[in-house]
Amino acid sequence: MDTFYVTTPIYYVNDKPHIGHAYTTVLADVLARCHRAAGDDTWFLTGTDEHGQKVEKAAIKNGITPIQQCDETVVRFQELWKRLGISNNDFIRTTEPRHKDIVQKVLQDLYDRDLIYKSEYEGHYCVPCERFFTEKDLVDGNCCPDCKRPTEPIVESNYFFRMSQYQDWLIQYINEHPDFIQPAFRANETLGFLKKPLGDLCISRPKSRMAWGIDLPFDKDYVCYVWFDALLNYASAIGYLANDEMFRRYWKGCMHLIGKDILTTHTVYWPTMLKAMNLPMPKTIFAHGWWLVGGGKMSKSVGNVVNPMDMADRYGVDAFRYFLLAEMTPGNDASFSEESFAKRFNNDLANDLGNLVSRVVKLTVKNFDGVIPEAGELEDIDRDILAKTQAAIDEFEQNLRQMKLDRGIAAAINVVRETNKYFEVTAPWALAKAGNTARLGSVLYTATHVLAVVSGLLFPVMPEKMADLRRSIGLSEDAVNKTDLASLKNGEDVKPGSKMTDLPPLFPRIQLEPCCAEKAAAPAPKKEEKAKDAKSKKEKAPVELPEGLISIDQFFKTQLKTAKILEAEHIPNKTRLLKLKIDLGTEQRQLVAGIAEYYKPEELIGRTIIVVANLAPAVIGGFESRGMLLAAKNESGLKLVTVDGGEFAPGTPIG
């Protein structure tokens, strides 16, 4: 029996959870459910990070103590996970004695072995990120390179972990273990970070400045740096230094799920800490992308944070879980809007899956009194749809292993679409009208088998709805929850003679409603303001140009830049589209282009192209595209537009 230990980041208790927290936790839940179904010894951990300056500041702002802030906020996470059907085995809080004791033991051990020392620190501190930065790290003068907010200059004595001595080892380990940091381009980001000299890690805060943390066991005037404390939860929760048997049992199968914004802490700080503790590395650290709203990252200050509780209450838990997993390719960014949610829900679940369920159940109830008929002699069209269903199981399994769950889900939904087409061709309603019950029975049995497989594949994603579906099509209670891939391949769940039961529509179509509170209507402009605006517009009226011409000002609104192609891949079921990852110098982006007929993905990697860099984001082929490449096309083919001669760094302006 294999072991599988999956963790989410532990979430800060300075505010309520948002869609980013929900995505990571639902992703972990789906993975845990898949591994449990496969018979793996599975442990799923989530929890909350309850120390540090952010929590202390939130407590002060709310007029309560830090532990009260933790106790009041942690409930929001626990209630949301229960509401979303999260099946975690454990929930750890870093204020628990079981965690604090282990942190202090690790600190004392490293201090005793001279891996922690005291020195004076001078630099800049970012409160939102809880991280120190040197002068050369800052951007825009005094801002954090990660969150872009102002930092605070600090000079103080502190304790340091000798992280720098592990730099060469870490580079070698990452290069020799390609599964360690996933997706692969995140490993390249970490290796890029490690090209600069790695400093030692400040692991303390003086109580005179910030007292909310775990005391250093060797100096009671200091508390432990929140990140050094928090990362140890992954080990303390499964018995490190407390239950050796449990720790050894699960640690060997460990996968950490994280957001890309905490890549450095998990792929640099954490491995060096583990190396110093003489512990093996986790099997995989997987960094997923961000949910973007309106083309940008969610932010409280912008007011575009999506509340997952609102979404679950409005549209249903399973529908929300489905959207999260189907819409985002793990590793890449994805855009959230209620329009995209409604479109995916109505297309995939209401029109495709819901429609097929309704057709199969109602025809069986009407023509066979709800009893699953015997499969008569199968025709080529029946065997073809059954073969496609078996292929979907294999495709789902392959994509699950590669952490491409969205593609696995797409494989299941594609079989549903194929089966709806199969119904159009076989016309079971016409067979029923003609009294051809033998052929009708074969068609309905075949479609029922498809539903049994698809509901099994989607069970970890939508456990409540798929359980309802599986009961409705006559599966036994044992089979309802038996959804491992091996059982689905055997295809023994659908038994002629079993009784189907009709059920209300699983996924009634939704009419788009606002998820968040309605914004108050803006007051109508006053009469004098209208007149002022009209006068202003008249004064700024553009000069009339001949048709087909634009002004120089209009031209310079378009930002053309060079970009280097880092990755390229096909988009499933989109024969014309390629998904590219490009380097624009100051950032990396995803871009979707209709050039698959002219270029193979491997031919594009490393090329420098020209892109429109300030084009509004758009969703193309189900993926967000931020920009547009330039190409010339005629009857003989298509060629990418590039620069003539010499090497141009990514992000070089054109024009």
Give per-residue pLDDT as tens, 209-230.
899 999 999 999 999 999 999 9
Of 387-391, 587-591, 626-630, which has the strongest mean pLDDT?
Answer: 387-391
- Cα 119 to Cα 122: distance, rounded to the nearest angstrom: 10
More confident residue, 382 or 495: 382
In a domain, 232, yes or no: no
pLDDT of residue 1: 77
Distance, CA of 284 to chain centre: 16
C-beta separation of 107 from 236 below 8 A: no
Alpha helix stretches (DSSP H) within 158-212: 167-176, 184-193
The dihedral over CA atoms of 572, 573, 576, 581, expressed in degrees to the nearest 10, equals -20
In a domain, 285, yes or no: no
In a domain, 365, yes or no: yes
C-beta separation of 633 from 644 below 8 A: no
Assign 249 a pLDDT band (cuts: 50, 70, 90): very high
pLDDT of residue 12: 92
Last residue of a domain, one of 444, 461, 490: 490
Is the dihedral angle over the CA atoms 349, 351, 356, 359 positive or is it negative? positive
In a domain, 631, yes or no: yes
pLDDT of residue 132: 75
Whether residue 84 is predicted with pLDDT greater than 70 in this model: the reply is yes
Whether residue 99 is predicted with pLDDT greater than 90 in this model: the reply is yes
Strand-strand pairing, 628-629 and 608-612:
antiparallel
The dihedral over CA atoms of 33, 461, 20, 185, expressed in degrees to the nearest 10, equals 80
Q: Which of 294-308, 310-324, 575-589 has the lowest mean pLDDT?
A: 294-308
CATH code for the domain in which residue 641 is found: 2.40.50.140
pLDDT of residue 525: 46
Assign 546 a pLDDT band (cuts: 50, 70, 90): low
* Helices vs strands, H then E, count in the chain: 25, 27
C-beta separation of 269 from 225 below 8 A: no
In percent, the amount of the chain with pLDDT more than 90 equals 61
C-beta separation of 252 from 224 below 8 A: no
In percent, the amount of the chain with pLDDT more than 70 equals 89
| Residues 6 or more apart whose Cβ sits within 8 Å of residue 50 | 13, 66, 70, 74, 93, 94, 95
Q: Which of 93-97, 177-181, 485-489, 491-495 has the lowest mean pLDDT?
A: 491-495
The dihedral over CA atoms of 128, 133, 138, 142, expressed in degrees to the nearest 10, equals 60
In a domain, 518, yes or no: no
Q: Which of 23-27, 163-167, 221-225, 289-293 has the lowest mean pLDDT?
A: 289-293
Question: What is the mean pLDDT of the segment spanning 21-29?
Answer: 97
Residues 345 and 443 in one domain: yes
**Residue 560, SS3?**
strand
Residues 368 and 462 in one domain: yes
Question: What is the mean pLDDT of the segment spanning 298-308?
Answer: 66
Residues 351 and 484 in one domain: yes
**What is the 8-class DSSP label of residue 460?**
T
- Cα 472 to Cα 428: distance, rounded to the nearest angstrom: 19
Question: What is the mean pLDDT of the segment spanning 171-200?
Answer: 96
Whether residue 541 is predicted with pLDDT greater than 50 in this model: the reply is no
Q: What does the mean pLDDT of the chain come to?
A: 88
Whether residue 35 is predicted with pLDDT greater than 60 in this model: the reply is yes
**Residue 337, SS3?**
coil
Please write the tens of the pLDDT for every residue from 572-609.
777 789 999 888 766 778 889 988 888 888 788 878 88
Assign 522 a pLDDT band (cuts: 50, 70, 90): very low
Residues 347 and 480 in one domain: yes
Beta pairing partners, 589 = 582
Burial (0-12, 13-18, 19+ Cβ within 10 Å), 534: exposed
CATH code for the domain in which residue 368 is found: 1.10.730.10
Residues 342 and 465 in one domain: yes
pLDDT of residue 483: 83
Please write the tens of the pLDDT for every residue from 501-512.
999 999 999 876
Number of domains in the chain: 2
Please write the tens of the pLDDT for every residue from 431-444.
999 999 999 999 99
pLDDT of residue 102: 98
Range of the domain at 358: 337-490
Q: What is the DSSP string of 64-116?
A: S-HHHHHHHHHHHHHHHHHHTT---SEEEETTSHHHHHHHHHHHHHHHHTTSE
H-run or E-run covering 439: helix 437-458
**Residue at 302: amino acid letter:** V
C-beta separation of 15 from 300 below 8 A: yes
Last residue of a domain, one of 490, 509, 533: 490
Residues 573 and 486 in one domain: no
Question: What is the mean pLDDT of the segment spanning 4-32?
Answer: 94
Residues 371 and 443 in one domain: yes
pLDDT of residue 138: 86
More confident residue, 12 or 607: 12
CA angle 29, 30, 33 (to 5 degrees): 85
Please write the tens of the pLDDT for every residue from 400-429.
999 999 999 999 999 999 999 999 999 999
Whether residue 630 is predicted with pLDDT greater than 70 in this model: the reply is yes
- Cα 343 to Cα 350: distance, rounded to the nearest angstrom: 10
C-beta separation of 322 from 346 below 8 A: no
- Cα 207 to Cα 224: distance, rounded to the nearest angstrom: 10
Go through the chain and tell me how many residues it has: 655
- Take residue 243 and report the two structure tokens written for it: 């239950």
Assign 558 a pLDDT band (cuts: 50, 70, 90): confident
Residues 468 and 378 in one domain: yes
Residues 474 and 558 in one domain: no
Q: Which of 454, 269, 264 has its CA nearest to residue 355?
A: 454
- Take residue 218 and report the two structure tokens written for it: 């060797």
Residues 485 and 630 in one domain: no
In a domain, 114, yes or no: no
The dihedral over CA atoms of 169, 173, 176, 177, expressed in degrees to the nearest 10, equals 180
Q: Which of 208-217, 306-315, 554-563 has the lowest mean pLDDT?
A: 554-563
Assign 491 a pLDDT band (cuts: 50, 70, 90): confident
Burial (0-12, 13-18, 19+ Cβ within 10 Å), 365: middle
pLDDT of residue 301: 55
Q: Which of 341-345, 540-544, 571-575, 588-592 has the lowest mean pLDDT?
A: 540-544
pLDDT of residue 598: 85
Assign 554 a pLDDT band (cuts: 50, 70, 90): low
In a domain, 208, yes or no: no
**Residue 13, SS3?**
coil
| Residues 6 or more apart whose Cβ sits within 8 Å of residue 446 | 375, 378, 382, 385, 386, 422
Last residue of a domain, one of 490, 518, 536: 490
Strand-strand pairing, 204-206 and 574-583:
unpaired
Question: What is the mean pLDDT of the segment spanning 521-547?
Answer: 48
> Cα–Cα distances in Å, from 349 out to 322, 343, 422, 455?
9, 10, 18, 12
Residues 589 and 486 in one domain: no
C-beta separation of 414 from 326 below 8 A: no
pTM above 0.85, yes or no: no
- Take residue 477 and report the two structure tokens written for it: 């209670």
Residues 374 and 474 in one domain: yes
Question: What is the mean pLDDT of the segment spanning 176-195?
Answer: 96
In a domain, 472, yes or no: yes
Residue in the structure block whose two tokens are 């292929």:
391
